[in-house]
Amino acid sequence: MDVIYVLCVNGAEWENIVVYLSKEEALEKSEKWPNTRMEIFSKSEKGGYGPTYNYYLNGNLVETT
C-alpha cells in the first residue's frame, strides 16, 4: 500500500501541516511529539490520498478500522 503520514498538530494552519513519506521518519516524529497524532493516508485508485483512520501516537500504531 502506498501511504503518506501527516503530522496533525491541534489548531495548526494548513501551511504548518507536515507530510512525511517514510514510515521510519513518521515514527521518529511521532515519538518526538508524543501527544500529537501522525495520521496515515493511503493512495486511492482515483488519484490523491484518503484517510485510513489509523494513526501513530507516541510511536504506537492505533488501528481504528
Give dist(CA 63, CA 46) in Å, integer.
24
Asked if pLDDT for residue 1 goes beyond 70, the answer is no
- Give the DSSP H or E segment for 60: strand 60-62
For the chain, counts of helices (H) and of strands (E): 1, 5
Q: Which domain holds residue 41?
A: 3-62
Q: How many domains does the chain have?
A: 1
| Residue 39 contacts residue 51 (beta carbons within 8 Å) | yes
Give the residue ranges of DSSP H helices in the chain: 23-32
Residue 50: predicted pLDDT: 95
The pLDDT tens digits for 14-41 are 888 899 999 999 999 999 999 999 999 9
Q: What is the pLDDT of residue 13?
A: 86
Report yes or no: 2 and 43 within 8 Å, Cβ to Cβ: yes
